[in-house]
Amino acid sequence: MIQIANISVKAGGKLILDKASFKLQAGEIVMVLGKNGAGKSTLLKALTGIQALEEGLILWENQALAEISFKELAKKRAVLSQSISLNFPMHVRDLVEMGAYVLDRAPEKALLDRMVREALQEVDMLNFADREFNTLSGGEQKRVLLAKCILQLRCSQKQGQEQFLFLDEPTASLDIQQQYKLAHFARKLAKEKGLGIFAVVHDVNLAAQFADRIILMKQGKIKEVGSPEAVLNVSTLERVLDIKSIVQKHPVYGCPHIIPLPQEVGEETQAKNYLVNKVF
């Protein structure tokens, strides 16, 4: 478990993150929503040890994050950044293999090759092992980087040790199919492998479908934390995200389904649709 207690972050004298508190559990997916500048990525950087705190405390299994060395932290968590650019050619298998850097000693080549293949197979990219990374589409690149994160955590996995995967806007610039495919892989890792997943996203419907809990942020503060059904409602979406909406029950998955509305839509029309559609 990761416990976050009243953490704040300043940059240039400005308060970017203001007294955030919540908990992260292994095996669950937590997604963070908020407008640009709400503090989402700063929160992720603070949790992963990249961003120093102004105040507050982060505990990883009752150990202060500030006391954990970078190498030890790399064995507990992996981070999938928004993007990566390579200025030189590199094959997919070689890039994924870099996830083994957390080991004190490199494993035998046969074992490492098998682990690389297994990681690529988990994200449905094994057939791309000999391709150059820069020739892949955005969605394919994200899945390769996810395989690298999987290998990193698997190399350092110990019995009884919780591990977490942090995703910083993983679906940015991806088409709809690739967005949901990546979210599906993340959910599979949480439910089948027991990883804790913390993801910064912008798509409220993707969060509604895949998250166990959702954090809503505004102006550096956490405004709501709870299940999709608890936090994704008409009033909260307008108060925190400035979205007028109709919230229906998803016809297949039963989670909230959000239909954004233009700001010009009147409250009477919004309320009428709200009632007709038997929303959350």
Question: Can you give the pLDDT at residue 94?
Answer: 93
Share of the chain above pLDDT 90, in %: 57
Per residue in 222-274, pLDDT (tens digit) is 999 999 999 999 999 999 999 999 999 999 989 999 999 987 665 555 555 54
Residue 218 has pLDDT above 50, yes or no: yes
Question: Can you give the pLDDT at residue 276?
Answer: 44
Sheet with 213-218, strands from edge to edge, namely 77-80, 164-168, 196-200, 29-34, 213-218, 221-226
Question: Can you give the pLDDT at residue 275?
Answer: 45
Question: Can you give the pLDDT at residue 181?
Answer: 87
Residue 278 has pLDDT above 60, yes or no: no
Higher pLDDT, 103 or 129: 129
Q: Mean pLDDT across the chain, nearest whole number? A: 88
> Three-state DSSP class for 151?
helix
Question: Can you give the pLDDT at residue 272?
Answer: 53
Give this prediction's pTM.
Answer: 0.88
Q: Which has the closest alpha carbon to 177: 143, 214, 212?
A: 143
Question: Can you give the pLDDT at residue 280?
Answer: 53
Structure tokens at 235: 């009033």
Interatomic CA distance for residues 66 and 20, integer angstroms: 17
14-23, 36-45, 82-91, 106-115: least confident range? 82-91
Residue 173 has pLDDT above 80, yes or no: no
Domain ranges of the chain: 2-231, 232-280
Residue 122 has pLDDT above 70, yes or no: yes
Higher pLDDT, 280 or 14: 14
> Three-state DSSP class for 272?
helix
Question: Can you give the pLDDT at residue 108?
Answer: 84
Interatomic CA distance for residues 164 and 190, integer angstroms: 9
Identity of the residue numbered 141: Q
Question: Can you give the pLDDT at residue 247?
Answer: 95
Question: Which pLDDT band, with edges at 50, 70 and 90, does 209 fall under?
Answer: very high
H/E element, 198: strand 196-200
Sequence-ordered strand ranges (E) for 35-93:
55-60, 63-64, 77-80
Q: Which has the closest alpha carbon to 211: 201, 219, 220, 221?
A: 201
Question: Can you give the pLDDT at residue 101?
Answer: 84
Cα-Cα-Cα-Cα dihedral of 209, 74, 42, 30, to 10°? 20
Structure tokens at 62: 């009752």
- CB-based contacts of 193: which residues, under 8 Å, 6+ apart? none
Residue 83 has pLDDT above 70, yes or no: no
Question: Can you give the pLDDT at residue 167?
Answer: 93
65-69: average pLDDT: 90
Question: Can you give the pLDDT at residue 268?
Answer: 55
Query: What CATH architecture does domain 2-231 belong to?
Result: 3-Layer(aba) Sandwich (3.40)
> Three-state DSSP class for 121?
helix
